[in-house]
Each structure stands twice: as structure tokens, then as C-alpha cells.
Amino acid sequence: MSRPFPYTFISCPCADTPVPDPARTRRSRESPRKPTAEPPTDPDHHKSNTQQADEVGQSDEEDDEQTFDPRSPRSNFSLYPPEQLLYCEDCHQIKCPRCITEEIVSWYCPNCLFETPSSMVRSDGGRCGRNCFNCPICTAPLTVSTIESVTGNASGHGPWVLSCGYCMWTTLDLGIKFDKPTNIRAQLQKMTDSTPATGYDARSRQGSRAFADLKSPLSNFASIDEQSTATEREAEREASNEDASSIPQLGAEARFAALKNFYRTQISETSNSPNDPLSSEFGFSSPGALNRLMSLYASSSRLSGLYGGNKKQKSKPPVMREALTAAEGLRIGSGDSDTAIIERIVSPECGWDGVASMSQRTDQSPDVRFVDELLPLPALLRTKRAKRCRSCKHILVKPETKPQSTRFRIRLIALSYIPLPTLRPLAQPAMSPVTPTASTPDLNALSPLRTYHVLLTLKNHMFDPVRITLATPSVTPGSVATKVTVLCPQFEIGANSDVWDEALQNATAPLSDRISSMRGGEKVPEAGKVWEKGRNWTTVVLEVVPGTLPGMNTEDGETEAEPGKALTLQNDEDILEIPVFVHMEWDAEAQLEQQNVGKASKPDDLVARELAYWMVLGVGRIQPY
């Protein structure tokens, strides 16, 4: 989601952890000045500060890795909006979605909001087992409605259909009607498997029994030639059978089940030793299967020369066969089915619209090619997930299991620990004769080389007062060099108090606002002074001078926009993003194990804490002229 200006992102420190480069740290130690703006001491320090800023800007060039660059490809993976970040109380660190692990608390259907027990999730294929379906054409949810509802008589019975309220598709397009409005998924399954479920079971069992006779001699002789001929013969017989009936025997799901069933019985029957690993439930994917295959290759290579005359029957592993009948899951494609499909695609009544799109086909059976073969899709389940810190495994977020509940048992979000940054432009006083009245600048069109004042409010959600130090590179990284000065880089934010105090505060808030708005005309941002301060928030001013975009000529005052040059701007170079380094310190109540450590300098139960991170302030877009 792109956000409108102004926005703030916070960089999770995890992006920097895997790059411990000793050379880099040494260089930073040697560098004469840190890129942090010094705390101004006197009112006219501001001017000298900007001068310093220029110098720092020079020395900054080689120090570039030290400051955070919001445009570097790496920062794509560390910048998050504040509300997405968590905080681990044990690591004392911000945690982003990359430094947590998730585990599923519950599964639920997003449509009916019913929880699916985790034992049912697999058998249902991760989809809702009730009445929730998505339209195969447009993915909108389908509603169960009766055909008779229009006429008004006898609602409550009559055939039911699934209909899409978005694209007006109904299951009537497939000729599917349901007898009752409940348990649609089972009804649909029964319809799409052309053989009824009970009959299929009996037949498959019967079929495998019939072929068990065939199988036992095969596994004894284990002659590949014989088996293949037998297979061919069998296949021909089957094919002729199928031609006679010319109906596909099983639906896709039933065929899959049949094949699975068939292979399982094959494995159990061809394994002659009772402790053969393949006979176990794990099947081919178990490590025992590899053993078996290895021994098979080893024996065959040793005996390859005297294959026919081999007398060691015992060392020879039995050979499995493939599915032979439709009941076992065999399906033989007819040769002209492809041409039939092509003819149908070409035919005028099918056309472009009649062919299912790739996205429509992804969730369907692989044979489906046309729109009128698409079946309604049961709604995919969603999950509620608990989140753990990746390094210390402590739970950071644990939602309640009930799908409808929005509450959490545990929720350690970063916003309860780090101050919430909000950004807002300060109304411009009459800077030039062109704009005589104060007006809030248009953040989507910041004019270059003009001084803007931006108010950065940090709101503390902790119950301890916090000391903040802000630092910015004096010139923003990237090809557009914008000068940034934090007018008051060091300040305190008061403690958050309980809700009742806040309510009282809110009652008086409009008053203070009115005062500030009254004074807004004459209030001038001053270096070293906090702009405004509330109970648990503090506002400071950032002075921003947007740089000129590359390809603009501003030397002689007249600006020219060259369309060709403007195109050379790399993507979003004109967006003004300011990296700000935030360092916060506070005295927290010590937890049990830390009491001994921090007792030397602090009173009994207080321990000094600090946290530092980068954030990025998206101020606006620089106007290209």
C-alpha cells in the first residue's frame, strides 16, 4: 500500500545485523564529526549549525554507509509502517515481520467465519467444508439462493443454486441444482464424481481384489518383459472397454484417491518382508524407500549379465505394476481429444470468452479448458497466527482463537514502546509576496530551494518519560540533495498516564489547540526550542530545503523543465524522504534478573534503557520546475 504524504516508516534494525564490517566501523570512529546535529545552545546557533551542516555534508560522502538510505534496495526490506512492528521485551528490540516466526492458532473460513478444526483442514483440502464457494469466473463469493425466490411462492424448498452477485454467474450455467441449501460441498462432490461414492468404494475394492490374482504371479516371476506385455495387453483390453463405454469413469478427485489407494496396496503387497519400510504408512517419501531402491539397483547391476539365469529368487525384489483399470485410477487419453479441443476453441460459439483464463484454471482440475467446465470453488480457509520472536522464541502476538474475536491474549506492538511519529507541515507564513497569506504547503508539489517547516510529533505510549535524541544527515542521500535540520534534536517526552487522565486531557486539548492556532501566525520556529509539548507528546520543527531535481537549470534563476531530462529521473527520485535516527533513553522498572545488574547507579527498581533505530519521514514530492 502506498501512503499519502506525509508518512513515516520505521526501519527494523534486523536489516543491519548481518553486516558486521570492521573496516566500516573503524572509519566511522576516525571521522571527525558524527553526522548528528549538535544540540544547539544559543538562539543564533541555528545559522552556524547550517554551516556546519554543509561541512558535514562534505565529510559525509565517504561516511555514507553510516546513515540510512531510504532509497537503497536493502531498505525495502527493513522499512515498515509503525503499526506493523512488534517489540520483544526480552531482546529489547523492534521486531518486523522478517524477524518473527508464525504459528497457526486456528483455521477459519473468511466467508462464514466458522472455525475449522485443524484435524479437518487436511481432509477438506484447506477449503471451507460448508456452503462457502467462490465464483470460478470472478472469485466473488457465491450465495445460495433458491430459484423460486423470484416468484415468491414456496420459498424454503425447491431447487437451490449458487449464484454470484458480481458477475451474475450461477451454477445453472453448468446445469447444477441442489436439493437442499445445506452441505452444498458434499452435494457438489457427489455430482462431479460421476460415480456415486459408495459404488466407487465397492468397485475399487472389488477391482483390486480381482487384480490381486493377477498380481501375485507377477510379483513371483518378476520378469519385466512378461509384465510389460501383460500390461500392454491389459491396457488394450481396457482401452477397448473404455471405447465401448466412452465415459470417463471417475472424477479428478476420485481418480486421485483411487490411484493413491492403488499404489498403497501395491507397496504393501509387493514388499515381501514384513519389516520392509515401504509397507509402512510413510510410503515412498520415507528414508526406507531409498534403501530399497538402492538395494534394487545394486542387485540388478551385479546380476545384469546373467539376468535370465538368475537363481537367487530371494534377492530379487518384487516388481510393482501400474494401474490397469479405470477403477484403479487409469485413464487413457483418446487420440483425438486434442483436436476436439482445438476445434472447439476455433469454433465461433466458443471464442475468446469461452476459454478459461490461466487464473481461472489455476484452481481447477487440469483438464478444464473452457469456461463452462469451471466448477465453483470452496472458499480457501484463512488462519489466525501467533507470532514469536525469532531469536528468543518468546510469544509476541497471540490472538484469541475464535475467528470473530479481534482481541489478543498477548500483543506486544512496537507502538506501545517506541514513540509514535506523526508528521505535519507547518503553515507557511508569508514568505514571498506571491503568497500573501499563510497556507499549508501542497506536499505533492514542494518547490525546490524553498524553506519548509515540518512538524514532527512524537507521542510516547510508555508509562515512563523518555529522552529523545534525533539526528538526520544534513543532506538527504540520493541524487536530490535536500537540506534538513532538526531545530531541536534533544528533548523529553512525558510519560503516558492512564486512560482517565487522558480523558481529562482531551477535554482541555481543544483549548490549547486554539491557543496555538491563534499564535500560529506569529509563532516562529526557533532553534533549540521545542515547538509544542503535551502530556505525553512533543513536537519539534524540521527545517527542510528541498533540493533541485537533476536536469533542472536553476543557476540563472529561470527554471526550465525539459521533458527529456525529466524522464531520466529514476523512479521516485523526486520523493522527499528524510532518514531520521532516533535514540531514546528511559528508566524502566527492572525485571527480576536485571535488578542486580543495574543497581549501582540507579535507584533500586529502575534500570536505564535505550533504544535506537532509523525512521524515514516521507515529506512530499518535489515539484519538477
Binding site for another protein (CB under 8 A): 1, 80-86, 108, 110-113, 138-141, 143, 149-153, 155, 164-167, 382, 387, 397, 403-404, 406, 408, 411, 413-415, 420, 422, 427, 439-440, 459, 461, 506, 509-510, 513, 517
Task: Name the burial class of residue 147, with classes exposed (0-12), middle (13-18) and buried (19+) by CB atoms within 10 angstroms of its CB.
Answer: middle
DSSP secondary structure of 560-596: ---HHHHTTSPTTTTEEEEEEEEEEEEEEEPPGGGTT
Task: In angstroms, give the least distance from the CB of 501 to another protein.
Answer: 14
Measured from the CB atom, the residue of 152 and 564 that comes closer to another protein is 152
Task: In angstroms, give the least distance from the CB of 276 to another protein.
Answer: 46
Return d(Cα 477, Cα 485) in angstroms, integer.
Answer: 14
Measured from the CB atom, the residue of 406 and 601 that comes closer to another protein is 406
Measured from the CB atom, the residue of 84 and 554 that comes closer to another protein is 84
Grid cell of 337 as nine digits = 481429444
Query: Minimal CA–CA distance to 36: which of 538, 486, 545, 612?
Result: 486
Task: In angstroms, give the least distance from the CB of 16 to another protein.
Answer: 21
- 189's torsion region: left (phi>0), alpha (psi -120 to 50) or beta? alpha
Angle CA 529–533–537, to nearest 5: 120
Task: In angstroms, give the least distance from the CB of 110 to another protein.
Answer: 5
Measured from the CB atom, the residue of 100 and 487 that comes closer to another protein is 100
Query: Minimal CA–CA distance to 181: which of 140, 134, 141, 143?
Result: 143
Measured from the CB atom, the residue of 123 and 404 that comes closer to another protein is 404
Task: In angstroms, give the least distance from the CB of 112 to another protein.
Answer: 7
Task: In angstroms, give the least distance from the CB of 13 to another protein.
Answer: 17
Task: In angstroms, give the least distance from the CB of 188 to another protein.
Answer: 19
Task: In angstroms, give the least distance from the CB of 82 to another protein.
Answer: 6
Q: Which helix (H) or strand (E) holds 216?
A: helix 197-221
Grid cell of 205 as nine digits = 475394492
* CA-to-CA dists, residue 359 to 251, 356, 368, angstroms: 22, 8, 12
Tell me how far the alpha carbon of residue 91 is from its chain's centroid: 24
Task: In angstroms, give the least distance from the CB of 168 to another protein.
Answer: 11
* CA-to-CA dists, residue 590 to 14, 410, 597, angstroms: 25, 20, 9
Measured from the CB atom, the residue of 286 and 422 that comes closer to another protein is 422
Grid cell of 130 as nine digits = 460448508
Grid cell of 520 as nine digits = 500560529
Measured from the CB atom, the residue of 221 and 408 that comes closer to another protein is 408
Grid cell of 403 as nine digits = 475467528
Mention every residue, 6+ apart, whose C-beta is less than 8 A from residue 575. 618, 620, 621, 622
Query: Minimal CA–CA distance to 167: which of 138, 145, 132, 146?
Result: 138
DSSP secondary structure of 89-124: TTTTEEE-GGGEEEEEEEEE-TTT-PEEPHHHHHHT
Grid cell of 409 as nine digits = 491474549
Query: Minimal CA–CA distance to 420: which of 85, 54, 29?
Result: 85
Measured from the CB atom, the residue of 330 and 397 that comes closer to another protein is 397
Measured from the CB atom, the residue of 80 and 452 that comes closer to another protein is 80
Measured from the CB atom, the residue of 397 and 487 that comes closer to another protein is 397
Task: In angstroms, give the least distance from the CB of 184 to another protein.
Answer: 15
Return d(Cα 87, Cα 82) in angstroms, integer.
Answer: 11
Give the pairing of strands 115-116 and 100-108.
Answer: antiparallel
DSSP secondary structure of 186-198: HHHHHHHSSS-HH
* CA-to-CA dists, residue 603 to 462, 587, 595, angstroms: 19, 10, 10
Task: In angstroms, give the least distance from the CB of 396 to another protein.
Answer: 9
Measured from the CB atom, the residue of 316 and 398 that comes closer to another protein is 398
Measured from the CB atom, the residue of 304 and 359 that comes closer to another protein is 359
Task: In angstroms, give the least distance from the CB of 192 to another protein.
Answer: 24
Task: In angstroms, give the least distance from the CB of 84 to another protein.
Answer: 3
Measured from the CB atom, the residue of 420 and 454 that comes closer to another protein is 420
Measured from the CB atom, the residue of 346 and 358 that comes closer to another protein is 358
If you count them, how many residues does the chain have?
Answer: 625
Measured from the CB atom, the residue of 82 and 477 that comes closer to another protein is 82
Give SS3 for 27.
helix
Give the pairing of strands 606-621 and 575-589.
Answer: antiparallel
Task: In angstroms, give the least distance from the CB of 205 to another protein.
Answer: 42
Residue type at position 493 = I
Task: In angstroms, give the least distance from the CB of 615 to another protein.
Answer: 13
Return d(Cα 43, Cα 150) in angstroms, integer.
Answer: 78
Return d(Cα 308, Cα 331) in angstroms, integer.
Answer: 33
